[in-house]
Chain A
Amino acid sequence: MFITLLRLIKTTFQRIVRSPYHVIAATFVLFLSFFVTAAFVLIMLGSNVILKHFESKPQVTAFFKDDTNLAQVEELKKVLSNTGYLANAKYVSKEEALKIYKEQNKDEPILLEMVTADMLPASLEVFATDIKYLPNLAEILTKENSVEEVIYQKDIVSNLTNWTNTIRNLGVIVIAFLFVTSLLITLVVIGLNISVYKDEIEIMRLVGASSSYIRIPFIFEGMLYGVLGAGLAVSTIWLLLGYLEPVIKELFSGIPLLPVSNDLMLLILGGEALTGVLLGFISAVIATWKYLKV
């Protein structure tokens, strides 16, 4: 039993080495599918983090004009609180804004040197007692003369939600399409290999090889393509993440997107490897069933 298994594995590898283009073709499409899937999963998880970040942030932020003084801010606070809808209002002065900015960019000394407190606006972070009162508070802020700009977090959140939904739907379609393609290509590649080994298969049948002995190397082949594709995809993602880390950090400063935990990467690797094995197995079974008459 054991010796037979070893021989089947050996046969699988010998055949793979003899037709490298088959391996490249099959592994490459699988790689593409798994790469897109892994990227998609990470983007989805990342956008979740971004959403949470914005949801936990003040509901409306009003940025003040440069000449606004504290008395005006206090006045505005009073107006807001008189509505009875205000849960909390937090003033962030220019100096505090600079401090926050410095904290977020502490790894980038050049950025720090260029920015002074003057360049950053003071702001008021306003929380409503309930999300439905937000428009009332926002309206007051918009009308206020000293306010330069009002950023409505709800808009960001709902925009983001829309975006992630779109990406998710699109992603699912693209990934489904990629996997169907992968399945078909793996199937065709294994079918090709079956025809390459037509003579050998005929001889195997003549000397009394069992049907499973003939089929198993092709099934192993399919499973190997799956694992290779998945492994390659996750390694590439991992390298790419390392390479893009500074860019991502800058783009989403203040949002804890990185580092992606090792556990998560392992989970993705495991999931994809398993899917790869399954996909390779299924296409190999179909290929041997369709092309191998034994």
Chain B
Amino acid sequence: MTTEKKKLAPRDQGAPDYKKNLHPLMVKNYGKWKYYDKIKPGVLKHVAESGDALYTVRAGSPRTLSVDKVRAICDIADKYCQGHLRFTSRANVEFLLAREQDIEPLIKEVRERLGFPIGGTGHSVTNIVHTQGWMHCNLPGTDAVGAVKALMDELYEEFTNERMPARVKISASCCSINCGGQADIAINLQHHHPPTINHGNMQICELPKVVAICPVAAIRPAKVEAKDSLEVVEEKCMYCGACHGQCPSMEIRDPNTDTLSIWVGGKSANTRSGPSFMKLAAWGLPNNPPRWPEVGAAVKKLLTVYKGSAKQYERIGEWIERIGWARFFELTGFEFTKYHIDTFKHARTTFNTSAQVR
């Protein structure tokens, strides 16, 4: 290590000034927007009290971008958007335009130069939020990055059209920590046995911290070949992988046995029924790179049934609440099994405690 003392840049500067980054029409009409109109899927018109109109063209991106791709995005924004754009929480790029006549030329360039589709607004299937997978995470059992690309290929027409009963948000995660979050449809990976402990390497982590992280107290200190290590009470362990996140020597992944599960009905918005958690729909799907066709087929099946059966403005969870879970499993063809019945903390609150049966 060189010890030459260089002067450090200033620390603790905080967040960049968003005001410098706002489109001029946003600065001018800040907090004074009146309504919006949908022009077509992916294109919105926001009208301010001043009478100003700001057009938004939303394009789906793969989130992982080379600097040259980002520069190409900037070139287009310089040409049509007075040098301003924004990103959504689901990795869509929003091009902001002051002039209506620029919309079509911009769309043409976005399609040709970036290869990005236009859509993701209203009642469409919008871009999938996902985790790092084999590209950069230390814990993944699968690659959400690639799985999402393959799945969006399947759902392309649903991104560019608004023909779902309500908006559909999908997330994908590479382990049961589920960083992808609650969504109408979520795909994540599940492990099927307790961690395998690499005792030889166990001294690098703070063992009490590893013991403390287990949600079901399945880990306890043990001496292995006269060295401090840990052991797992296998009957207690529920294969969550929390310990693996804390200590790399608690290997929970297994390329031969890990599988994918599909969850449905998560929602953040307070609209109508309020926010809700997603529930298990299907399990045991193979972790099948490079294109995970079984996941694509299951999600498409689910969306087809939803589209045919839900009422307008019913998100997936609300639709299932209305028709009941029995009908959901019947319509989708997903098999209902004993594993769908909760066994964790608040299991009893999920049972049907009435004679209301359908």
Are A and B bound to each other? no
Binding site for A on B (CB under 8 A): none
